[in-house]
Amino acid sequence: MDSNFKKMAVGVVAGVCFLFFLMFAGKIFQNVDAGEVICIQSPVTGKLTWHTSAGVKWQGFGKVTQYDKLQTYEFKVQIRFNDGGHGTLNGSLNYEIPLSPEALTNIHIKYGSQEAIQKQIVETVTNKCVYMTGPLMSSKESYAEKRTSLIHFIEDQIENGVYKTTQKEVKTKDSITGIEKTVTVVEIVKNAEGVLERQEEAVLRSLGIRTSNFAVTGLPYDEAVEQQIQQQQSLTMKVQTAMASAKEAEQRAITVAKEGEANAAAAKWAQEVEKAKAVTLAQQQFEVAKLEAMSAEQEKRKQILLGEGESTRKRLIMQADGALEKKLAAYVETQKFWADAMAKMTQPVVPGVVMSGDGKSGNGVTQMMEIMGAKAARDLQMDIKASR
């Protein structure tokens, strides 16, 4: 009996222990995921034990608090610009908690949960940075030329602390109505080295929390602001169209001027070509005239030389024969002249019969011919020299 009772008692105790293990197994061990950080608080001493690596960890009925290593915060934050316009900034950012036990203990003591970290730190800091960035620009600037700066200013303040700013009032003209108005402009304060000054230390950084991948998914404006932006866009488009037209007109004027210059240059070169042709022709004519003059000069010299040669030749011939040929020709011509004259006379020039002292008589014509014959003989014997 005693042996059976002992066996039964051991079985009961084992069964109770097994049931106890099944009921409280979740309080004895804790499984840690790779993307989690687990804090186990001892039920006896209250000591905080941090587990940042994956695996099954000893819990020992301690209190477990779970944190995500990386979490995404999505926000919708109202933003007000320096021209009074409003909008809603929609976006998201990632934040990572530190992994050192000291930093984790500091966060856990102050906030105690993932929800509290996001609500009391990340959300608060993000809203504050968005609020402080709005006055740095106008609604139009946030929509157009300073859209990138808007994102940069918010992200920089979240990571490094809120800017120290100063306000001043300036007068400006409304881009739509053209009416002058006074607006309050917020400017970031810089030190002597040009470094941006911070109003306070970065809260997230002081806790070891890092942010990344800040992104803006939308910025819907109030209806009045949207209308104003549309009007500004319309005006901008008109201005750009006018500028484009002016540019086109200017370019057209430049093109016309260039075409005019090109035409003038072409005309000038055409004139230069004609001038060159005329000069070439004149040069050719001058060369031809020069050659003709040289040819005439040579011809003149040739004729002079020929004349001098002929004169010398004739002079030498005359010197050689006493100019007999000339004399005979002249004599023949003179004889023809008086013979012809004698033939044409109707009256006798001399008596038909002449009685001489010796008692001889003769015919007058015969005697006349004899006289002329004697004269011819005498003339031929004369030394008639040709003049030089």
User: Which pLDDT tens digits describe the chain residue by residue (388 residues)?
Assistant: 566 666 666 666 666 555 555 554 557 778 899 999 999 998 888 899 999 999 988 888 889 999 999 999 999 999 999 888 889 999 999 999 999 999 999 999 999 999 999 999 999 999 999 999 999 998 888 888 888 999 999 999 999 999 999 988 877 776 555 677 777 788 899 999 989 999 988 999 999 999 999 999 999 988 877 776 667 667 667 767 777 777 877 887 788 778 878 887 888 888 888 888 888 888 888 888 888 888 888 888 888 888 888 888 777 776 666 666 766 676 677 667 666 766 676 666 555 555 555 555 555 555 666 666 666 656 655 544 444 4
| DSSP one-letter code for 138 | -
Contact 198, 158 (CB under 8 A): no
Residues 82, 90: contact at Cβ < 8 Å? no
- Residue count (the chain): 388
List beta partners, residue 221.
Answer: 87
Alpha-carbon dihedral angle through residues 268, 270, 275, 280, given to the nearest 10 degrees: 140
**pLDDT recorded at residue 288:** 85
In one letter, which amino acid is 71?
Q
Helix axes 147-160, 123-133, angle to 10 degrees: 140
Q: What is the CATH number of domain 72-221?
A: 3.30.479.30
How is residue 76 written in tokens? 């919708």
Measured between alpha carbons, how far is 136 from 188 in angstroms, rounded to an integer? 8
What gap in Å lies between CA 38 and CA 57, rounded to an integer? 9
Residue extents of the structural domains in the chain = 28-68, 72-221, 222-300
Specify the pLDDT at position 226.
Answer: 72
pTM over 0.85: no
Q: Of 381, 379, 347, which is closest to residue 364 (Cα–Cα)?
A: 347
Q: CA triplet 25, 26, 28: central angle to 5 degrees?
A: 65
Question: How many CB atoms sit inside 10 A of residue 22's CB?
Answer: 9
Using CB atoms within 10 A of its CB, is residue 364 exposed (0-12), middle (13-18) or buried (19+)? middle
